[in-house]
């Protein structure tokens, strides 16, 4: 079996999850680590018994170390530059979610992937949950017919994580990029990635800035609530809702309405009335509700990392198509632009790539 040699760029908390997962994937070596705080890279190497090949500059690491790919686990607002540099250096890239805070940088990442003909995979771990796998099978089997309307929800009541997550320069987004991306990606994935053409939206961080339970959260610079109404080229509509903080128990649930049946899903950050997958349809002229059995728990970090390594080893396409993930950035930008315009509808354009 061909060894797959990887480097890590950014050695914070999420990097540790990938180190743990990668040590369980056969034929993988993490050969170098990079962080602007070298002590953090050294600590990561020691914790996981990795080679003490530590860099402060990812450009130097890319130039000096023989690697097949890198895992980009920097803060969201600085995903783009190291990912693009790695792709241009001929390395495959596994990048933590969301793709980027900037639509321009996210577009540049996808363009670089096409131009270099290298894998760009965004780590959206919920794709590998039994619930999403089963829901995808149901949709692809045609059970729902044509999906004409959907709502997707990722919510918490008092779930602002604080720290670097609430700083604009590092995170770029708040709840939208942290948990909302899971809901939006799940919805787009199950709907078959229809092309968005217009968005209405609102964003707010009022509850965090004026909260009564944690003074440190009053420094929040990013969104803690967002809602968008998305119009697609095929006529379908999607309501996207996410929040870290609210005075409510739930924003609703994630569901899909089709011409033949409806579907609800609940998993992890993608909330529903309960965990699992349910189908709603007519049978023998009567309405029926069917709870669909799904497999047991899956180590989603190991599953996504295994998929990335397999694609690198066997020269396969990205297990999670970056073009589809770019749609989340297009919609996020539409929500932000609409909110800045007082909630009015704004047109959005999906970027085109000359190399396609």
Domains annotated for the chain, with CATH where assigned, are 4-125+300-317 (3.40.50.720), 127-297+331-347 (3.30.360.10)
Cα angle: 118, vertex 94, 175; to 5 degrees: 130
Residue pair 329/80 in contact by the 8 Å Cβ criterion? no
Q: Does residue 295 sit in helix, strand or coil? A: coil
Cα angle: 57, vertex 59, 64; to 5 degrees: 100
Torsion sign, CA atoms 169, 171, 174, 176: positive
- Alpha-carbon span 4 to 313, nearest angstrom: 7
Amino acid 272: pLDDT:
85
pLDDT over 70 (residue 354): no
CB pairs under 8 A, 24+ apart, for 135-140? Answer: 135/190, 135/263, 135/265, 135/277, 136/189, 136/190, 138/263, 138/277, 138/279, 138/292, 139/190, 139/191, 139/192, 139/256, 139/263
Per residue in 179-212, pLDDT (tens digit) is 999 999 999 999 999 999 999 999 999 999 999 9
Per residue in 294-334, pLDDT (tens digit) is 988 899 999 999 999 999 999 999 999 999 999 999 999 99
Per residue in 118-176, pLDDT (tens digit) is 999 999 999 999 999 999 999 999 999 999 999 999 999 999 999 999 999 999 999 99
């Amino acid at each position: 079996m061909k060894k797959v040699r990887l480097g890590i760029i950014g050695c914070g908390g999420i990097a540790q999850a990938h180190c743990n997962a990668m040590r369980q994937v056969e034929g993988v070596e993490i050969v170098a680590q990079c962080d602007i705080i070298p002590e953090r890279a050294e600590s990561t190497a020691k914790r996981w018994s990795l080679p003490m090949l530590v860099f402060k500059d990812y450009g130097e690491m890319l130039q000096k170390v023989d690697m097949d790919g890198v895992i980009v686990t920097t803060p969201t607002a600085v995903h783009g530059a190291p990912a693009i540099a790695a792709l241009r250096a001929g390395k495959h890239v596994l990048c933590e979610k969301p793709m980027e805070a900037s639509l321009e940088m996210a577009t540049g990442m996808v363009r670089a992937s096409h131009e270099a003909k290298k894998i760009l995979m965004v780590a959206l771990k919920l794709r590998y949950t039994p619930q999403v796998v089963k829901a995808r099978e149901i949709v692809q089997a045609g059970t729902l017919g044509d999906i004409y309307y959907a709502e997707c929800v990722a919510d918490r009541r008092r779930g602002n994580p604080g720290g670097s997550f609430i700083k604009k320069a590092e995170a770029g987004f708040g709840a939208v990029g942290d948990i909302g991306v899971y809901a939006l990606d799940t919805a787009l994935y199950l709907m078959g990635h229809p092309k968005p053409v217009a968005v209405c939206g609102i964003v707010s961080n009022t509850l965090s800035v004026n909260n009564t339970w944690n003074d440190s959260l009053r420094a929040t610079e990013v969104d803690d609530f967002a809602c968008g109404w998305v119009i697609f080229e095929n006529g379908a509509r999607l309501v996207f809702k996410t929040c870290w903080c609210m005075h409510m128990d739930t924003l609703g649930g994630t569901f899909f309405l089709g011409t033949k049946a409806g579907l609800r899903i609940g998993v992890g950050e993608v909330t529903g009335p309960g965990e699992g997958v349910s189908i709603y349809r007519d049978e023998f002229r009567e309405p029926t509700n069917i709870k669909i059995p799904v497999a047991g728990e899956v180590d989603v970090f190991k599953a996504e990392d295994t998929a990335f390594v397999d694609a690198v080893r066997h020269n396969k396409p990205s297990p999670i198509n970056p073009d589809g993930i770019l749609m989340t950035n297009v919609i996020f930008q539409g929500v932000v632009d609409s909110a800045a315009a007082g909630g009015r509808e704004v047109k959005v354009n999906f970027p085109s790539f000359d190399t396609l």
